[in-house]
Structure 1
Amino acid sequence: MEHVEPTVGVRVELEYQLTRQDMRQALRARAKVSAAERRLRIITAVVAVLMAANAVLRLADGRGPDFQLALGVYAVVALGVLRPLLMVRQFLKLATRHGGCRTLADDRGVTVTNAGGSNALNWTAASRYAETRDTFVLLSADKNASCLTVLPKRGAREAGGVDTLRALLDRHISRI
């Protein structure tokens, strides 16, 4: 007896090379749902506010600026600014090391293929998604959204592909 693949109702194909902007949007979307990212933002903000308040109080008391305190404030601010840029750079480097991607999304899930191989995700592995201006970002359900798949809208090969992909995602997984 011959093996027959199950019929797939809706199917969307994408071809793309990930860009820095794609990764920036994806990591921002991930940060909104990641508990670890929320904690880090809160801790960084609290430390920066406390350090700045300490500096203001020192100046108000006439003790003058504290070099170590000022250095600490600059370090916390630099961490807040540079960390996202470095993360984008590292994720992009990992995601593009095997070149461009071809992706197929259908009722079974999403399969991403590049020169390094193929990765198939069923809808339970990527159980939620975020839509940004230029991408769909598929995220795992764990509290830190440790797995993400970026699908740039510009990669849709057919007219109406973006709307079809959005409808497919809405049918199988939840939007955040």
Structure 2
Amino acid sequence: MRADRLAVIAVVVGAASWAVLRLVERSGGLVPALPWTAPVALVLLAVAVVVAGRPVRRWTRGDRSRPLDPLRAARVLVLARASAYAGAALIGFYAAQALLVLPDLVVEARRERFWMAGVAVLASGALLAAGWVVERWCALPPDDPSDDDPPDDDPSTTPHP
């Protein structure tokens, strides 16, 4: 996963969210309030991603005392990638929420929304970081090229007359 791709996702989602939220607000609609549970849930999800990735990390670092199901490792990789992409998209969405209320920070309710959106951006960043790190944990170490070459005295490599 490349950082520039995640940045593009955050910027595109942020711009689209800001445009839609601005349109809703200008047409007289109310933008829904940000619940305090959103950042908490995002942080808990980030912790769950890291916990799910720990066995894969141990195995790829050489601790093979416990077997690792390849399907589980693949699922952890998919979870990590999805978490990074979702974190990037949510950073854009919550940043748009913060930018929307930025001109009206003198109003107490708008200031509270700004701070809640800021906390949600940080929590989304934690989810993105957890996904990024766990995806790196899922990478297999490079193969040793000397292991692929059979020894010279191996009878299976000797040509038969």
- Per the shorter chain, which TM-score range? 0.3 to 0.5
Larger radius of gyration: 2
Task: With the length of structure 2 as denominator, give the TM-score of the two structures.
Answer: 0.33
Identify the structure with the greater strand proportion.
Answer: 1
